Amino acid sequence: MESLEAELERARELDVAVLADAIEEIGFECTRCGACCKAAENGDRGDAGSEHGTDGRTRETHAEAGPEFEAHTATVFPDEVRRLQETNDYDRRVTEGVSRSRSDASRDWRDVARPMPYGIDTGGNGPEGETFEWALQTNDCGDCIFYAEEDGQGACTVHEDRPLICRTYPFSVALAGTSQPMGGAVERVGDVRAHECEGLGRDIPRAEAEELARALKQRAIRELEEAIGVRENYEP
């Protein structure tokens, strides 16, 4: 296994044009099915975790959805949380009562994000364990708090400010120390992996492939920088 620093250097050297070529070869178009934004039946969703998997980590379930459902889990960076706190769409959703934790429009951090549930267990005195990441907040059904559905089509209500993990779905780069979106990898071209999604295999315009490739490279760099920062600053 390469060091995080070596993987970060690889991420910085990724060629956006080559990544875009791979995305074009795989093909993708969002069908607005909403599967990537909603709770899923346990066993239907791959863990969104590191290159080396997440076996043994706690799954989060919601009472209203039932124990057979796993809550939507998407990694979000702190600056992305702060940006989502300021969006007009966020204000609208809070004032309409969508937020679970507050009824006013004070833009509380926990209205947008929650501690990543993986690594946390429920003990006799409440949650136990450690986690080093934030995940997008979910509603009582386990769906992303920013997901909306109308006439059978899903939509992100903060689409322009959505986090990198959402901008790059359903793709990841094959570098250790980077995260993977929900769903197992079903195809790989070069350094690009494609994960379970009904939109795969569809034609994608070159401009969109390049935009997605730039975001994919940016996400890989950010994740590795964050991982190195946590390692260097962690105090048990």
Please name the residues in contact with 151: beta carbons below 8 A apart, sequence gap of 6 or more: none
Q: What is the pLDDT of residues 60-87, one digit of tens each?
A: 444 444 556 788 999 999 999 999 998 8
CA distance 81 to 84: 5
Model confidence at 45: pLDDT above 70: no
User: pLDDT tens digit string along 103-155?
Assistant: 345 569 999 999 988 877 878 887 788 888 999 999 999 999 999 988 888 99
| Higher-pLDDT residue of 132, 224 | 224
Q: What is the pLDDT of residue 47?
A: 41
Residue boundaries of the structural domains of the chain: 1-36+169-236, 39-146
Do 59 and 111 touch, CB atoms closer than 8 A?
A: no
Query: What is the C-alpha to C-alpha distance for residues 75 and 127, in angstroms, rounded to an integer?
Result: 19
Residue 97 has pLDDT above 80, yes or no: no
pLDDT higher at 3 or 57: 3
Instruction: Taking the CA atoms of 171, 177, 179 and 180 in sequence, report the sign of the dihedral they define.
Output: positive
Question: What average pLDDT does this structure show over 33-41?
Answer: 88
CA 191 – CA 56 distance, rounded (Å): 27
pLDDT average, residue stretch 217-232:
95
What is the three-class DSSP state of 24?
helix
Residue with tokens 């990198």: 164
User: Measuring CA to CA, which residue among 65, 32, 15, 1 is closest to residue 220?
Assistant: 15
* pLDDT score at 1: 55
The secondary structure element, H or E, covering residue 9 is helix 4-12
Q: To 5 degrees, how large is the angle CA 49–CA 50–CA 55?
A: 65
What is Dmax (Cα atoms) for the chain?
54
